[in-house]
Amino acid sequence: MTTYFRRPKFTIPPLENGDRLSRLEFERRYQAMPDVKKAELIEGIVFLASPLRFEPHAEPHADLIGWLWMYEVATPGVRLGNNPTVRLDRDNELQPDAVLRLDARAGGQSQISEDGYIEGAPELVAEISASTASIDLGDKLRVYRRSGVKEYLVWQVFDERIDWFLLDGEDYIELNSDEEGVIRSCTFPGLWLSQQSAIVGDMSQVVLVLEKGLASPDHQALIASMEQPGG
């Protein structure tokens, strides 16, 4: 009696680095792979994340989230997302390390879809860039700029620098730090960052500078506007 080898049946192909897919097909394959924690579609090409190391990524990522969380707690109408899926257009579905967005009821430019994903451009996107600097400052930057992300922050861990871009018309310009080394958001008044303190891991100083931003007249005026009817 002859025994034949039976190939396993694959109903949905797996995601592979470099696949060229539509966003709908990307989502179909991604949802069928629950063990995959991070995959992105950038200009129609699939990128699968490598395992994340502690010091070059996980630790600065946690510091970034903590800084943004303090701002969210102090600012009505602002919502923070850690590693959310963001649907931008047919060819781009990204999963940035952090987003800070205005709620749609507060005049934000993105929405939450019926199935729970961000659709449209958040006001601020932040990426921790260790081994991915060429992508974060290349294709991703162009996608975020084209999609209308107002501010884009890239923390280049190995290069020990933080680049913070502001959308000015159709291009990004870099936000420069002041004489005290502090960068101030234009989109979120009071969101101040002590650049060098963050880079060296001095989060106590990062918190002190942010607290000054939260006490600034610009942030107080933002809170007042949010508390007004229709604000």
CATH numbers and ranges of domains, the chain: 53-223 (3.90.1570.10)
**pLDDT on residue 28:** 93
Q: Is the pLDDT of residue 148 over 70?
A: yes
Q: Are the CB atoms for 187 and 124 separated by under 8 Å? A: yes
**In contact, 161 and 199? CB cutoff 8 Å:** yes
What does the pLDDT read at residue 8? 59
- Looking at residue 7, its pLDDT comes to 60
Measured CA to CA, the distance from residue 116 to residue 93 in angstroms comes to 14
- Could you tell me what percent of the chain has a pLDDT over 90? 81
Please, is 223 exposed, middle or buried when counting C-beta atoms within 10 Å of its C-beta (0-12, 13-18, 19+)?
A: middle
Residues 6+ apart with CB under 8 A from 5: none
Predicted confidence (pLDDT) at residue 219 exceeds the cutoff of 60: yes
Q: Which of 54-63, 125-134, 217-226 has the lowest mean pLDDT?
A: 125-134
* pLDDT above 60 (res 230): no
The backbone torsions φ and ψ at residue 128, rounded to the nearest 5 degrees and listed phi first, read -90, 120
CA distance 89 to 58: 28
Q: Which of 40-54, 107-121, 152-166, 217-231 has the lowest mean pLDDT?
A: 217-231
8 Å CB contact between 221 and 189: yes
> Does residue 231 have a pLDDT over 60?
no
- Given this model, what pLDDT does residue 5 score? 60
Assess whether pLDDT exceeds 60 at residue 95. Answer: yes
The string of pLDDT tens digits covering residues 3-49 is 666 665 557 888 999 999 999 999 999 999 988 889 999 999 999 98
Task: Please say if the pLDDT value at position 125 is more than 60.
Answer: yes
* Nearest residue to 178 via CA among 191, 161, 195, 162: 195
Which residues are CB-neighbours of 32 under 8 A, at least 6 positions away?
12, 14
Strands 86-89 and 118-119: parallel
